[in-house]
Chains A and B, each alone.
Chain A
Amino acid sequence: MASWKSSDYPTTGAGRTDSVLPAEVHGLPIARQHVPKRKGQFFKHAYPYFLIAPTFLILTTILAYPWLVSLHWSFQSFNPILDIQPRFVGFQNYVKVFEDPLFWRSTINSAYLIVPSLVLEFLLGLGIAVLLNRRLIFERFIRTAILVPMMMAPALAGLMWRLFVHPDFGLFNYFLTIVGLPKLLWTASPTLAIPTIILVEVWQNTPFVVLILLAGLQAIPLEQFEAARVDGATAWQMFRYITLPWLTPLIAIALLFRTIFIIRTFDTIMLLFSSIGGVGNSALVFGNYLYFQTYKIWDLGLSSAISYVILLVTGILTIAYTVYLYRELKF
């Protein structure tokens, strides 16, 4: 990793080659000028479209088309397994979702899960990234250790934490008693259900934030700090006026993906708790709500409507980042 050495032609990490190499000559991309002439104008222009055709074929048939079909079904009541004839019900499915107290319970729980998790992951992630942003002994070992939770199946994380926070023989309670605190019920307590999930989420996903912010920190040109130091800037000023602006797009990306993926939280909860929603539905979030309703009622029209509501919520939560990234990202 040579990326923290200031250099005009960084070889790793920063991906800056585009800015130093001419992408185009005489208005045409260099690569395209060498397409053999005999193949004709049409083929020349069509070539990139051929390359992306398989991708769009797969994405439209397996993601876009099912989502559209699902939109259609969300206005029907139907069950493909029992072969019950679909019937049009208009907005009834959506009304059912919004009138369901369980849905609102899952919304409140999701908010209670998402906000503290994102804040903690961001703060811890930034802190750890700053700690790691220097030459270290055991550097490879430390980085690998950090990758393990992030790459692990969320279901598996749920399993091992269930053992860890078990009220009767879990290590967590043991540590608490060592420092003189009382044993806690963790997943068996309605008030601690969501904090327990936050704990697991933060454990598993802080590494993702660390990696992305670390990449951002390493891409900052050192000259900027040197210039600031010459001008007598304080450490805080350097952080505020150099580090933070450089990190902003990375922070947006990290938070965007964390938001999308924390809304899906499902595997962890399924395996962390004995019942789908925990004690008294205290751990019921969007994902579990969808699962619970699907397997209880078996009306895929209703389930489709719930899917669309979750999609809508995700859209609303991520629109700010998305607009920002669409403006910022260079293609």
Chain B
Amino acid sequence: MKRSLLRTLLLYLALAAVVVGFLFPPAWMVVTSFKLGRDIVTWPPTFIFTPTLENWYWFFFSAEASAMAPQEGRRILREFLPNSLIVAVVTTALSMIVASLAAYAFARFNFRGKRPLAFAVLGTRMLPPIATVIPLFIFMNSIHLRDTLTGLILSYTALNLPLAIWMLWGFIKEVPRELEEAGLIDGCSRTGALVRILFPVIAPGLAATSVFSFLLAWNDFPIALFLVAHKAKTMPLAALGFYAEEGVYWGPMSVYGILYMVPTILFAVFVQRHLVKGLTLGALK
């Protein structure tokens, strides 16, 4: 008994170390956002200091670029943040509609060429994202969609479809076919059965997949960096604005980091139960 108690204690100590290790960097950023500039750059780092809202105030109320940072805080809130939200939400909606149809086809029908087609979908996910920026740049430039939100939305939707289809496929597979058949017998159309019967059942799966679609668009930096010049700037690009010749504006940057991180944390809480299934590509049988 003594021995198992010791083992439990060691287990939780190890887990505590893991959790602290993973959460410390974001937590330190939150602490930094409440520090004055001089408290941030001191050695040794201060843990006890007079908290200030100056960085936050600058973000929400700065009239123009101040001494605190070369860019304007409110521009991030008024342009970059809405741009990012629009891009992420539209990408999510578009890829969910397209992906759920394809996932349904793959999960419920046997048709000629299914295996190679399915693998082609997965194959596009294997294209290295950083190398894809050049083809996308040339393409978007040729159809005059460079530096537009539409261009970003189309790019993200395409990059997003493989994962979305594979996740939804996994979720649909788990629903017994009899459920839809009952609907079909009762006179539902096939599409009606899909929307009225299947979708409500896999709602958690749809939600988890949406979260991943949203985050792909929300988190992307390289594609935005290449495709966007100045009109369609999104949140991640704002990060570069805190770097200046004279150094990094840590205080305002921390506030920016927190604002940028909020949806991520909310979603992490929300999806933690549902996402594993989708990520394993049906390798679990």
Chain A residues near B221: list those with CB within 8 A.
153-155, 266-267, 270
Known: A70-B134, A148-B26, A162-B248. A35 touches B190 (CB 8 A): yes
Nearest chain A residue, comparing its CB with the CB of B271: A147
CA distance A32 to B177 in the complex (A): 11
Chain B residues near A308: list those with CB within 8 A.
131
Decide if A163 touches B128 in the complex (CB within 8 Å): no
Decide if A142 touches B15 in the complex (CB within 8 Å): yes
Asked whether any CB of chain B lies closer than 8 Å to the CB of A18, the reply is yes
Decide if B239 touches A51 in the complex (CB within 8 Å): no
Q: How many residues of B contact A (CB 8 A)?
A: 112
Asked whether any CB of chain B lies closer than 8 Å to the CB of A290, the reply is yes
Asked whether any CB of chain A lies closer than 8 Å to the CB of B219, the reply is yes
Chain B residues near A245: list those with CB within 8 A.
none
Residue-by-residue, is B1-38 near A (CB-CB < 8 Å gives 1, otherwise 0)? 00000000001001100110111111011001000000
Decide if B109 touches A66 in the complex (CB within 8 Å): no
Number of residue pairs A-B, CB distance < 8 angstroms:
327
A206: min CB distance to chain B, Å: 8
Decide if B26 touches A287 in the complex (CB within 8 Å): no
Nearest chain B residue, comparing its CB with the CB of A328: B283
Chain B residues near A264: list those with CB within 8 A.
128-131, 222
Known: A15-B285, A69-B138, A145-B23. A52 touches B280 (CB 8 A): no
Decide if B114 touches A171 in the complex (CB within 8 Å): no
Chain A residues near B276: list those with CB within 8 A.
13, 211-212, 214-215
CA distance A148 to B258 in the complex (A): 13
A24, A62, A168, A169: the one contacting B139 at CB < 8 Å is A62
Asked whether any CB of chain A lies closer than 8 Å to the CB of B132, the reply is yes
Known: A21-B176, A151-B264, A318-B126. A51 touches B44 (CB 8 A): no
Asked whether any CB of chain B lies closer than 8 Å to the CB of A228, the reply is no
Nearest chain B residue, comparing its CB with the CB of A288: B130
Asked whether any CB of chain A lies closer than 8 Å to the CB of B173, the reply is yes
Decide if B239 touches A163 in the complex (CB within 8 Å): no
Asked whether any CB of chain B lies closer than 8 Å to the CB of A182, the reply is no
Chain B residues near A265: list those with CB within 8 A.
130
A294: min CB distance to chain B, Å: 7
Q: How many residues of A contact B (CB 8 A)?
A: 119
Chain A residues near B19: list those with CB within 8 A.
141-142, 145-146
Decide if B14 touches A131 in the complex (CB within 8 Å): yes
Decide if A145 touches B22 in the complex (CB within 8 Å): yes
Asked whether any CB of chain A lies closer than 8 Å to the CB of B202, the reply is no
Decide if A322 touches B126 in the complex (CB within 8 Å): yes
Decide if A153 touches B236 in the complex (CB within 8 Å): yes
Asked whether any CB of chain A lies closer than 8 Å to the CB of B59, the reply is no
Nearest chain A residue, comparing its CB with the CB of B219: A153
Identify which of A52, A65, A249, A294 gathers the most chain B CB atoms within 10 Å of its CB.
Answer: A52
Decide if B119 touches A326 in the complex (CB within 8 Å): yes
Chain A residues near B42: list those with CB within 8 A.
169
Chain A residues near B134: list those with CB within 8 A.
70, 290, 294, 300, 303-304, 306-307
Known: A17-B173, A303-B134. A58 touches B157 (CB 8 A): yes
12 pairs across A/B with beta carbons < 8 Å?
A: A48-B108, A59-B120, A136-B15, A147-B268, A152-B264, A156-B236, A161-B25, A264-B128, A264-B129, A266-B221, A300-B134, A330-B282
A residues whose Cβ falls under 8 Å from a Cβ of B: 1, 12-19, 21, 24, 29-32, 34-35, 45, 47-49, 51-52, 54-56, 58-59, 62-67, 69-70, 73, 80-81, 128, 131-132, 136, 140-149, 151-157, 159-164, 168-171, 174, 177, 203, 207-208, 211-212, 214-216, 219, 249-250, 252-253, 256, 260-261, 263-267, 270-271, 274, 286-287, 290-291, 294, 300, 303-304, 306-308, 310-311, 314-315, 318, 322, 325-326, 328-331
